[in-house]
Amino acid sequence: MAAPSASRGVNLWEVVINPTNLKSKTLPLLSLRNQYSINFHLAWLAFLSAFLSWFAFAPLIPVAIKQDLKLTPAQIGNSNVVALSATLLVRVLAGPLIDRSVYKMGVSRTMPLLAKGI
């Protein structure tokens, strides 16, 4: 696959499909009129929401949550262990579900359930 020539530039609006495997050769970031751009934007949005919902909680433990709930250091340690164990369990259970279904269908079904916890 040749790189785009300097005179042609990069087109962020049009999608170019490979006829052999029906995958996109380009990434039209500024267009939402094709499935490739929509899938890309849904994927990064799902990752961002999952990342923020998981990692935004940890910095609050020593300051706000510890004081509000009057937690001891042992309870904070136990909450970290439970959080890690729950993450592993969810990954083991959700991974095959998303692998068996179409990725965007699996994400579109699990993200609303996870959003309730945020």
Read off the tokens for 102: 């179409």
User: 115 or 21, which is more confident?
Assistant: 21
Model confidence pTM above 0.85: no
Q: Is 110 found in the same domain as 79?
A: yes
User: 10 or 19, which is more confident?
Assistant: 19
Domain assignment of residue 32, yes or no: yes
Percent with pLDDT over 90 in the chain = 0
CA–centroid distance for 90 within its chain: 14
Residue 104: what pLDDT? Answer: 62
Closest CA to 59 of 86, 80, 44: 80
Confidence of residue 5 (pLDDT cuts 50, 70, 90): very low
Question: For residue 12, which phi and psi values (nearest 5 degrees)?
Answer: -90, 5
Q: What is the pLDDT of residues 91-113, one digit of tens each?
A: 787 777 666 666 666 667 777 77
> In this structure, are residues 114 and 53 in contact, taking their beta carbons and an 8 Å threshold?
yes
State which amino acid sits at residue 45. Answer: L
Q: Is 108 found in the same domain as 62?
A: yes
Residue 52: what pLDDT? Answer: 73
Residue range of the domain that includes 79: 57-115
> In this structure, are residues 31 and 14 in contact, taking their beta carbons and an 8 Å threshold?
yes
For the chain, the first-to-last Cα distance in angstroms comes to: 43
Domain tally, the chain: 2
Q: Is 70 found in the same domain as 97?
A: yes
User: 4 or 9, which is more confident?
Assistant: 9
Question: For residue 78, which phi and psi values (nearest 5 degrees)?
Answer: -65, -35
